[in-house]
Structure 1
Amino acid sequence: MEKTILVCILAYLLGSISGARVTALLYHTVNPTSSGSQNPGATNMYRIGGFKAGLLTFVLDLLKGLIAIWTAFKFELSADQTGLVAVACCSGHIWPIFHKFKGGKAVACALGCIFPVASGVASSLLVIWVITMFLFHYASLASICAVLACPVLLFAAGSDYSITYSVLSLLIVWRHRNNIKRLLNGQEDKF
């Protein structure tokens, strides 16, 4: 139990490091929380700083999830405990202690949390995201579709992680609630 709490705290702190803010410093762009969609994520950094800035933000946020789950593996945590680590890491991204608890939506971070436990599912989620994006040109819709598919694919694969990652999926969909409203009202910006 103590190991789980320790790794969850470390994962939360790691999740609190903002890939978008780091990228903004490296590329000398405006703060992503004060420009564009004001979301510190890869899509907004793409809009602000271009392809390389968006890609770097995506990779940095993905790495947070990877490192958190690899740490859980190193400490030999159970599937349920590892799922809690994933939730902690993504919670850090969403409510970062280093940035007044104002963070992003944790899509890339969550993907990083999925790769170590089910790389096939994670790859399928990327394909779902790309196809949805290609068909509809909404990054938020592509993210929501991939996130909703995650627990279904994990369950179909017989994964021990399907329950805790379902909680993570619901959290990320909830973070997209304003995007969902704009999509329903035809007001969401296309990518």
Structure 2
Amino acid sequence: MEKLSGKRVAFLVTNGFEQVELTEPLNAVKEAGGTAEIVSLSKDDIQGMNHDEKGDTFAVDRVIDDVSADDYHGLVLPGGVQNPDTLRTDAKAVQFVRDFFSQHKPVAAICHGPWLLVEADVVKDRQLTSFPSIKTDILNAGGNWLDDEVVVDNGLTTSRNPDDLPAFCKKVVEELREGKHERQTT
């Protein structure tokens, strides 16, 4: 894998995230030499899920109140149903996501993670994928939903579910290595 030495990556998560959708990309970033930090709504440990069963708990590195997109080279949004549904109701979390887009930094979201992208109003005219149940939300927000393993649109990497994690992790590292992506307008 390409090296991410010197790159800091935020993983924005809260309770109810799909555990493997955090751990595999987080490990991929670390294995590529990057620094991965779990950012959440509070300093309390967060509860992972293995589908509908409780998984492990994870320590939070930074709280949303104490970070900005300026602190990071990229952002990863794991899925799970409860996780993005809770995050999209937090104004600071939504603004944090929006700031990565305004700074043209790589963002990755998997499964239900794109719900947060819809809330941040950053999917219009972009190609992306997600868990099929939020396809309509993406379409209604002006996005172009594709049923592909991984979709990359100018630094935005998305995938559908845990089965897509190998391709997702590879593209996440690649996009982070490339850095900022200036969005072309036509």
Same structural fold, with TM-score higher than 0.5 when normalized by the shorter chain: no
More strand by proportion, 1 or 2?
2
Q: Tell me which structure has the larger Cα radius of gyration.
A: 1
TM-score (norm 1): 0.31
More helix by proportion, 1 or 2?
1
